[in-house]
């Protein structure tokens, strides 16, 4: 769990730093008197967090009728449950975390939109809209972990069986996130090389 949080923090810092560099470049462009306009808000900027929120709500509704009076959420070294919670609180916490992360995504997008002002074509190797879309959807990785955790707890409570061991899920998520990050880095490098040649 700590590894996925660390990875997400690193990714946010990288894109935050990239956004800051872009912001400084745009401010220097604005001081030179070049025209600029603000990017409009688009739902695709926070699409992944919204989709995961909807999935969490649907999953909670599907599992709710099958949940026992108390849900085990913590287990000791032998695998025996030693922590319990009422289904209503489990559902509220599971959906609440998802909703908070959607709000965080929205504020990330709003902040990035203020920084990533549109400038004249060819001024930047990566479009500000691309940066906003990626930064706005980054919290979806954290949402995905919490969504799986909620589903795993509900599934165990309802059927006394796990969907998948948590460590296996984390390895899959970290691998996919790493591949995505590498692919985006290659995309930026290729765009920068093409821009330099032209």
pLDDT tens-place string over residues 109-162: 877 776 655 444 444 556 777 777 877 888 888 888 889 988 988 888 888 888
Q: At what angle do helices 47-64 and 139-159 cross, to 10 degrees?
A: 10
What pLDDT sits at residue 197?
A: 61
Helical (H) or strand (E) element with 75: strand 71-75
pLDDT of residue 62 exceeding 60: yes
Q: What is the mean pLDDT of residues 36-63?
A: 85
Helical (H) or strand (E) element with 73: strand 71-75
pLDDT-derived band at 87, boundaries 50, 70, 90: confident
Structure tokens at 82: 């030693």
What pLDDT sits at residue 3?
A: 54
pLDDT-derived band at 23, boundaries 50, 70, 90: low
Q: What is the mean pLDDT of residues 15-37?
A: 55
What is the reported pTM? 0.61
pLDDT of residue 189 exceeding 90: no
Return the closest-CA partner of residue 139 out of 39, 20, 45: 45
Rounded distance, CA 109 to CA 112, Å? Answer: 5
| Average pLDDT score over the chain | 75
Of 46-60, 78-92, 110-124, 153-167, minimum mean pLDDT range: 110-124
Rounded distance, CA 58 to CA 185, Å? Answer: 35
Domain range summary for the chain, segments of one domain joined by +: 2-197
Better-predicted residue by pLDDT, 124 or 174: 174
pLDDT of residue 7 exceeding 60: no
Better-predicted residue by pLDDT, 74 or 109: 109
């Amino acid at each position: 769990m700590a590894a996925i949080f660390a990875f997400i923090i690193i990714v946010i810092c990288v894109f935050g730093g990239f956004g800051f560099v872009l912001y400084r470049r745009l401010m220097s462009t604005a001081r030179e008197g070049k025209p600029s306009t603000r990017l409009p808000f688009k739902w695709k900027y926070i699409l992944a967090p919204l989709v995961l929120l909807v999935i969490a709500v649907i999953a909670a509704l599907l599992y709710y009728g099958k949940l026992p009076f108390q849900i085990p959420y913590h287990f000791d070294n032998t695998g025996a449950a030693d922590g319990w919670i009422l289904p209503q609180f489990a559902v509220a916490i599971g959906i609440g975390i998802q909703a908070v992360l959607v709000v965080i995504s929205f504020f990330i997008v709003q902040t990035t939109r203020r920084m990533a002002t549109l400038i004249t074509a060819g001024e930047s190797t990566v479009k500000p809209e691309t940066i906003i879309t990626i930064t706005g959807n980054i919290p979806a990785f954290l949402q995905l972990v919490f969504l799986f955790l909620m589903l795993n707890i509900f599934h165990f409570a309802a059927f006394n069986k796990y969907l998948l061991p948590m460590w296996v899920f984390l390895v899959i998520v970290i691998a996919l996130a790493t591949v995505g990050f590498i692919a985006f880095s290659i995309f930026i490098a290729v765009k920068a090389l093409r821009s330099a040649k032209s």
